Amino acid sequence: MAETVAPEATLREAGPEDLSFILELEANPAIRPYILPWDKAAHLARLAEPDSQYLIGENATGPIGFAILAGVANPHRAVELVRIAVREPGSGLGLRFLLQIMDYAFSELAAHRLWLDVMEHNSRARHVYEKAGFVREGVLREAVFAQKRFVSLVVMSVLEWEWRKQRR
């Protein structure tokens, strides 16, 4: 696969050997309040699903982030970005990694729609998604129980024609 994330980074499919890195990122105090982390068994089960795909962004020093996609075999070509995390949140790396994932979803997976949900209080991520071209579709009010409270999720998406238009 070896797609470019940034001049110094590539994107590749992840496997079980990458789970220690993924679990390490999910445990990062800067990331943990914004995700519902899974244990190793849950990740192994998801890795084995033919409708899911894990991606790793890496540079010469090693992995810089990961993403989980679902719906990669969806006949409606609607792919979900289940999770994205980078080693250095707030560095600008997340946007570059997200743009590469978008390129991969629309070019390699032939997605028509790439969508996600993000915790409403995660304003940094929502800003990055909007900057990348995602459009807010609505709110799933108090949809998940996280950090001992109910949290609303903002649903966002970008369509293939929107992605192509912004790539010009």
- Domain ranges, ordered by start, for the chain: 3-167
> Residue 13 and residue 46: Cα distance in Å, rounded?
14
Token pair 């949809």 is found at 143
Asked if pLDDT for residue 141 goes beyond 70, the answer is: yes
In this prediction, residue 93 has a pLDDT band, given cuts at 50, 70 and 90, of confident
> Residue 79: what pLDDT?
98
> Residue 8: what pLDDT?
65
Q: How many CB atoms are located within 10 Å of the residue 43 CB?
A: 20
- Which of 90, 20, 27 lies closest to 56 in space, CA to CA? 20
In this prediction, residue 60 has a pLDDT band, given cuts at 50, 70 and 90, of confident
Asked if pLDDT for residue 33 goes beyond 60, the answer is: yes
In this prediction, residue 3 has a pLDDT band, given cuts at 50, 70 and 90, of very low
Asked if pLDDT for residue 167 goes beyond 90, the answer is: no
Would you say how long the chain is, in residues?
A: 168
Sheet holding 113-119, edge to edge: 3-6, 9-13, 52-59, 62-70, 78-86, 113-119, 149-159, 135-146
In this prediction, residue 130 has a pLDDT band, given cuts at 50, 70 and 90, of very high
Contact between 154 and 139 under an 8 Å Cβ cutoff? The reply is yes
> Residue 9: what pLDDT?
74
Say what percent of the chain tops pLDDT 70. Answer: 95
Contact between 87 and 25 under an 8 Å Cβ cutoff? The reply is yes
Alpha-carbon torsion, ordered 95, 47, 80, 88, to 10 deg: -20
In this prediction, residue 168 has a pLDDT band, given cuts at 50, 70 and 90, of confident
Q: Which CATH number fits domain 3-167: 1.10.10.60, 3.40.630.30, 3.30.43.10, 2.60.40.10?
A: 3.40.630.30
Beta strands per DSSP E along the chain: 3-6, 9-13, 52-59, 62-70, 78-86, 113-119, 135-146, 149-159
pLDDT averaged over every residue in the chain: 92
